[in-house]
Amino acid sequence: MYFGKKRKTNLSDRVPPNQNVTTTFPVLHAGNVPYYENISKWNLQIYGLVEHPKLYSLDEMMSLFPQEERTNDIHCVTGWSKLDTSWQGVSTRELVKDINIHPNARYVILHAEEGWTTNLSIEDFLKESSLLAYSFNNEPLTPEHGYPLRGVFPHLYFWKSAKWLRGIQFTEHNHPGFWERNGYHMEGDPWKEERFSFD
């Protein structure tokens, strides 16, 4: 008989309203999965309202910053949630130590391949759970899931978690990204069901 502390088993505490848990890992995106002939030519550009704009190679992302791990539940606006996903990469809080954000910067635009973008507030970007991930379950990201680098912002609907990340732009104003221009919510908190900006 087990008398230990009762585990939190009530799924409704973990799964936001109108979401269903899946054990698969759906692949969802607009556009094409990029193919990198030579990954040493890949870079991540940090720019906008920052004191030290940067261009990092993948090697630099993996060596200049400590590797950190985050295990969290993810929630796609189309209705699936996946529990206990485990990602490894660079903490956004570590990254910004290297670039010094200008005090006027209040938002970020994440730029992905093919011009895909999404926007989030600095507070969301810098949450403890936020990660720039290069690995999932200690394996490099697969091409469909964002190789070589993606954002993971698990406290927001998963569309904010840009795959194939190439740029992080710090801005004063909140500029809608790809889905946000098409009616998706500017913040996207799954617990408040911030799916769309109308209704």
Ligand X SMILES: Nc1nc2c(c(=O)[nH]1)N[C@H]1C(S)=C(S)[C@@H](COP(=O)(O)O)O[C@H]1N2
The verdict on 153 binding Mo ion (CB under 5 A) reads no
Q: For residues 100 and 56, what is the distance between their CA atoms, to the nearest angstrom?
A: 15
Which of 101, 163 has the CB closer to ligand X?
Answer: 163
Contact 20, 80 (CB under 8 A): yes
Which of 101, 165 has the CB closer to ligand X?
Answer: 165
Half-sphere exposure of 164 (CA within 13 A, CB side): 18
From the CB of 152, what's the least distance to Mo ion, in Å? Answer: 13
Q: What is the identity of the amino acid at 17?
A: P
Sites for Mo ion among residues 16-35 (CB under 5 A): 28
Q: For residues 122 and 124, what is the distance between their CA atoms, to the nearest angstrom?
A: 5
Residues 6+ apart with CB under 8 A from 73: 14, 15, 81, 82, 83, 84, 85, 154
Which of 90, 165 has the CB closer to ligand X?
Answer: 165
39 binds, among Mo ion, ligand X, none (CB under 5 to 8 A by kind): none
The window from 93-101, 139-147, 159-167, 173-181 that contacts Mo ion (CB under 5 A) reads 159-167
The verdict on 159 binding Mo ion (CB under 5 A) reads yes
DSSP letter, residue 154: T
Which of 46, 133 has the CB closer to ligand X?
Answer: 133
DSSP letter, residue 173: S
From the CB of 156, what's the least distance to Mo ion, in Å? Answer: 11
Strand 150-152 vs strand 44-48: parallel, antiparallel, or unpaired? unpaired
Which of 91, 161 has the CB closer to Mo ion?
Answer: 161
The verdict on 76 binding Mo ion (CB under 5 A) reads yes
Q: Which has the closest alpha carbon to 45: 92, 134, 110?
A: 110
The verdict on 99 binding Mo ion (CB under 5 A) reads no
Binding-site ranges for Mo ion (CB under 5 A): 28, 76-77, 158-159
